[in-house]
Amino acid sequence: MTDRKKGLPDTRGTLPKRRLGTPRVFAPTSEEDWRHAALLIAELKEWDAQQSQALGFEPGEVMSVFYPDDIVDIRRYSVSPLGCLLLAMDGKVALGCAAFRRLTSDACEAYDVYVRPTCRRRGIGSILLRRLMHDARTYGYRTMCLETATFMRAAHKLYELLHFRIRAPYRSIPARHAKATMWMECNLDHTP
């Protein structure tokens, strides 16, 4: 089965038959890499929209408030040293992604952090975030911020393990989304 729009094998929800080893984590360099990133980000958006329906939000509303950028914008934000997007791959299978972009001269925002549901609980999110935080420090950022949905409890545990703490919102969102949104930040000078 293939994803006809992207011309790549449809690997959603599948893993290689062998035991998953340490994933290869890297910034996309080819159009194929960027197609993998686009597929993962599309899955993230779809998954988040489905989860948010339980909170009373329509999918289109979630997309416009929390995912206004398309892959062209994401590629532009991901240019070193202002930003970065990382892929986690096992062979030709995309497992997850994570990105950061510039907020201010010393602060960046982590976004599009996603690991496919069948790949979770294997440390992939931690590997991606630790590398992302390392790269952000290398690029001169001192703080990494993020926003997350209140229902993403497993992600909250990971963020807390990596020394993210609750903070005030750093951008405006509609008031009705405020109770469903958590804002966090981490001092990159004091991270594991």
Annotated domain spans of the chain:
2-190
**In whole angstroms, what is the distance from residue 129 CA to residue 134 CA?**
8
Helix (H) or strand (E) segment spanning residue 135: helix 124-138
Please say if the pLDDT value at position 89 is more than 50: yes
DSSP class of 30 = S
Helix (H) or strand (E) segment spanning residue 185: strand 181-187
**In whole angstroms, what is the distance from residue 46 CA to residue 93 CA?**
19
Contacts of 104 (CB under 8 A, 6+ apart): none
Percent of the residues in the chain that have a pLDDT greater than 70, as a whole number:
89
Instruction: Tell me which architecture the domain covering 2-190 has in CATH.
Output: 3-Layer(aba) Sandwich (3.40)
**In whole angstroms, what is the distance from residue 3 CA to residue 137 CA?**
36
* For residues 142-171, average pLDDT: 94
61-70 pLDDT per residue, tens = 888 888 878 8
11 band by pLDDT with thresholds 50, 70 and 90:
very low
Alpha carbon of 108 to those of 16, 59, 87, 90, 174: distances in Å?
A: 34, 27, 18, 28, 22
Helix (H) or strand (E) segment spanning residue 136: helix 124-138
Alpha carbon of 73 to those of 4, 42, 63, 77, 167: distances in Å?
A: 22, 14, 15, 6, 26
* For residues 37-64, average pLDDT: 89
Please say if the pLDDT value at position 18 is more than 60: no
Among 14-18, 88-92, 173-177, 188-192, the range with the most confident prediction by mean pLDDT is 88-92
Please say if the pLDDT value at position 169 is more than 70: yes
Give the tokens for residue 74.
Answer: 């994401």
12 band by pLDDT with thresholds 50, 70 and 90:
very low
Helix spans in 14-123 (H): 31-53, 59-66, 71-77
6 band by pLDDT with thresholds 50, 70 and 90:
very low
What is the model's pLDDT at position 192?
66
What is the model's pLDDT at position 63?
86
Concatenated DSSP letters of 67-95: ----HHHHHHHT-TTT-EEEEEEETTEEE
pTM: 0.85
The amino acid that residue 160 corresponds to is E
Report the largest interatomic distance among the alpha carbons of the chain, rounded to a whole angstrom.
47
| Mean pLDDT, the chain, whole residue set | 87
